[in-house]
């Protein structure tokens, strides 16, 4: 099979799993905190099909097209929630928003631990593409590719979604730092479609700088004290 096709399948599979974990975490926390909307929609599940049915364009079409055009996967998904519940319980709504990025953080940590184990056992070696399988360690080439994609993609999802701008998760998470009254006013203000559009434009332009600072720190945490 062509190398580019294998790479595309790997990126799409990891995107599908990571995004499903992200949205299922939103849905689960909302359900636990009193909003069963996503639960009844089938989103409290690691089965990607309910999430694909809700956002087929963002979960399938755009990721495939983006890889074909740019050799990189982008896309989106969403979990439904009751806006009345969110307004009545702004703290719970903020925790629901935080749950998605925390799922991506968990996947970053897990993939980072496996990368570290591979480095310690000599299966992987540092390289220009973060790390790769050691020469002649053919059995670990596929594993190295998968772990590299998991680490990179979930680092991106974590950092991007935590930007404190609407309509990203960080735009709700930031209200945890505010008194309830101010949090409500902030949510009402930022829920306007115009601000969501502006937020996405700002996030798209700001993200490369933020990620350029955060990602080396995440890599350093994995490679810390590693002599090779």
Active site residue 88: no
- The DSSP secondary structure of 48-86, one letter per residue, reads HHHHHHH-HIIIIIHHHHHHHHHSS----------HHHH
Buried b (16+ CB within 10 A) or exposed e, 132-166: bbbeebeebeebbbebbbbbbbbbbbbbbbbbbbb
C-alpha–C-alpha distance, residues 82 and 133, integer Å: 47
For 131, the enclosing helix (H) or strand (E) is strand 130-133
Among the listed residues 23, 88, 128, 135, the single catalytic one is: 23
Active site members: 23
């Amino acid at each position: 099979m062509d190398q580019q096709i294998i790479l595309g399948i790997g990126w799409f599979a990891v995107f599908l799993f990571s995004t499903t974990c992200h949205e299922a975490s939103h849905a689960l926390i909302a359900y636990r905190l009193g909003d069963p909307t996503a639960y009844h929609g089938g989103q409290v599940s690691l089965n990607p099909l309910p999430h694909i049915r809700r956002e087929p364009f963002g979960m399938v079409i755009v990721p495939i097209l983006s890889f074909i055009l740019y050799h990189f996967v982008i896309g989106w998904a969403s979990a439904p929630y009751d806006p009345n519940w969110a307004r009545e319980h702004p703290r719970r709504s903020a925790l629901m928003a935080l749950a998605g990025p925390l799922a991506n953080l968990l996947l970053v940590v897990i993939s980072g631990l496996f990368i570290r184990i591979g480095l310690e056992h000599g299966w992987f070696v540092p390289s220009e593409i973060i790390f790769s399988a050691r020469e002649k360690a053919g059995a670990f080439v596929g594993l190295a590719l998968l772990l590299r994609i998991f680490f990179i993609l979930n680092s991106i999802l974590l950092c991007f979604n935590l930007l404190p701008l609407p309509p990203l998760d960080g735009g709700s998470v930031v209200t945890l730092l505010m008194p309830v009254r101010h949090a409500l006013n902030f949510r009402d203000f930022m829920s306007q479609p115009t601000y969501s559009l502006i937020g996405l434009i700002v996030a798209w332009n700001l993200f490369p700088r933020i990620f350029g600072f955060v990602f080396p720190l995440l890599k350093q945490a994995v490679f810390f004290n590693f002599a090779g």
